[in-house]
Structure 1
Amino acid sequence: MLPVRPLPAYLVQRYHGWKATTFAENRAWYKRLAEEGQRPRAMVITCCDSRVHATSIFGADQGEFFIHRNIANLVPPYAPDGDHHGTSAAVEYAVTALKVAHVIVMGHSRCGGVQGCHDMCSGNAPELEKATSFVGRWMDILRPGYERVAGREGVEDALTELEHEAVRVSLENLMSFPFVAQAVEAGDLTLHGAWHEIGSGELHVLDAETGCFVPV
Structure 2
Amino acid sequence: MHRFPAFLLNGYSNFMSGRYAREEERYRDLAKEGQSPTAMIIACCDSRAAPETIFDSGPGELFVLRNIANLVPTYQPDANLHGTSAAIEFAVKQLEIKDLIVMGHGRCGGIHAALNLDSAAIKQFDFVGNWVSLLNPVADQVNKNSWMTEGERRTALERISIRHSIGNLRTFPFIKALEDEGRLALHGAWFDISTGELWLMDPDTGDFDRPEI
The structure 1 residue matched to 2:64, chosen from 67, 77, 83, is 67
The structure 2 residue matched to 1:193, chosen from 188, 193, 200, is 188
Does the residue aligned with 1:209 lie in a helix, a strand or coil?
A: coil
The structure 1 residue matched to 2:99, chosen from 96, 102, 107, is 102
CA distance in 2, matches of 1:151, 1:209: 26
> Does the Cα contact within 8 Å between 2:187 and 2:203 map onto a contact in 1?
no
Give 1:63 shift.
0.3
Q: Which amino acid aligns with 1:198?
A: I
Is 2:132 aligned against 1:139? yes
Is 2:205 aligned against 1:210? yes
Q: TM-score, normalised by structure 2?
A: 0.92
CA distance in 2, matches of 1:174, 1:209: 16
In the alignment, which residue of structure 2 is the partner of 1:43?
40
Q: Which amino acid aligns with 1:208?
A: P
Alpha carbons of structure 1 residues 9 and 126: separation in structure 2 relative to 1, 3 Å: closer
The structure 1 residue matched to 2:158, chosen from 149, 152, 163, is 163
In the alignment, which residue of structure 1 is the partner of 2:50?
53
> Does the Cα contact within 8 Å between 2:70 and 2:102 map onto a contact in 1?
yes
Q: Unaligned stretches of 5+ in structure 2?
A: none
Alpha carbons of structure 1 residues 65 and 7: separation in structure 2 relative to 1, 3 Å: same
Give 1:128 shift.
3.6
Cα deviation code 1:33-72 (max 9, x no counterpart): 0000000010000000000021121121110000000000
Pairwise CA RMSD: 1.8
Q: Which amino acid aligns with 2:138?
A: G
> Does the Cα contact within 8 Å between 2:75 and 2:169 map onto a contact in 1?
yes
> Does the Cα contact within 8 Å between 2:114 and 2:129 map onto a contact in 1?
yes
In the alignment, which residue of structure 2 is the partner of 1:26?
23
In the alignment, which residue of structure 1 is the partner of 2:80?
83
1:169-180 equivalent positions in 2, closer than 5 A: 169-180=164-175
Identity %: 42
What is the total number of aligned residue pairs between the two structures?
209
> Does the Cα contact within 8 Å between 2:115 and 2:143 map onto a contact in 1?
no
CA distance in 2, matches of 1:12, 1:208: 43
Q: Which amino acid aligns with 1:85?
A: H
Q: TM-score, normalised by structure 1?
A: 0.90
> Does the Cα contact within 8 Å between 2:68 and 2:110 map onto a contact in 1?
yes
